[in-house]
Amino acid sequence: AQKVTQAQTEISVVEKEDVTLDCVYETRDTTYYLFWYKQPPSGELVFLIRRNSFDEQNEISGRYSWNFQKSTSSFNFTITASQVVDSAVYFCALLVVAGAQKLVFGQGTRLTINP
Amino acid sequence: NAGVMQNPRHLVRRRGQEARLRCSPMKGHSHVYWYRQLPEEGLKFMVYLQKENIIDESGMPKERFSAEFPKEGPSILRIQQVVRGDSAAYFCASSSWTGGPSGANVLTFGAGSRLTVL
């Protein structure tokens, strides 16, 4: 069975601080994808990144960066120089390729950036 | 180029009534997924459909819930005889994934339909 754990339920930081959101996953499959989605207060889900299990290169996109480590089954997300607009709930998700491609989501981390 | 369109955005029902949630996938997408988000929880898979076919409904409650994706028109998630525990946000997602082990397309999510059962 697949499982995603986001141990941090809520994080609150002051604007311009760096913040890391943790994600740990479980799967016995060797081919899978990991995702991060952002859910702002308006409620929609915004895709941020997809990473496949064979690509452990870290990725940076502006102030966002992702650290994928298969050895620890983690896919952590860092926001550098946080801004108030980053306030949202962030979900990590796992998709196993075999089968119907169902996304398994973590519980989410509510991030609040205070001015 | 409209994204995934869900309506209604908000729906209020009394216990015992029926709720119908509609989802129009992105243009060119023929795969539709429904997820449910209970308050303060992550999203849980409910059902995966292609046109006129239910591919995987392993996440659907056994009773009162049904889904369809007809040849013409939007996908419909139907909840009969709603109870308070059905209050949640229901998200639809679509993709153009054509199957096979080579990869996974990104699911594009709609804005969700928030059901409140009084």
For the stretch B11-34, pLDDT in tens is 999 999 999 999 999 988 888 999
Spans of chain A below 70 pLDDT: 97-101
pLDDT digits (tens, 9 = 90+) for B39-97: 878 899 999 999 889 988 999 999 999 999 999 999 999 999 999 999 999 999 998 76
Among A21, A30, A44, which would you mutate to test the B interface (most chain B Cβ atoms within 10 Å of its Cβ)? A44
Residue A109 sits at the vertex; the CA angle it makes with A105 and A115, to the nearest 5 degrees, is: 150
Q: For residues A100 and A48, give the distance between their C-alpha atoms in angstroms, rounded to a whole number.
A: 22
Q: Which residues of A45-62 are buried (b: 16+ CB within 10 A; e: fewer)?
A: beebbbbebeeeeeeeee
Closest in A47, A102, A105 to B42, CB measured: A105
Bond preceding residue B8 cis, omega within 30 of 0: yes
The answer to whether the CB atoms of A100 and B101 lie below 8 A apart is: no
**For residue A40, which amino acid is it?**
P
Q: Are B9 and B115 in contact (CB under 8 A)?
A: no
Work out whether the CA dihedral B85, B56, A34, A46 comes out positive or negative.
negative
Cα–chain center distance at A49: 8
Nearest chain A residue to B33, by CA: A102
Q: Are B117 and B10 in contact (CB under 8 A)?
A: no
Closest in B43, B45, B111 to A44, CB measured: B111
Q: How many CB atoms lie within 10 A of CB B18?
A: 11
Contacts of B72 (CB under 8 A, 6+ apart): none
pLDDT for the residue numbered A66 = 94
Interchain CB contact of B25 with A (< 8 Å): no
Interchain CB contact of B56 with A (< 8 Å): yes
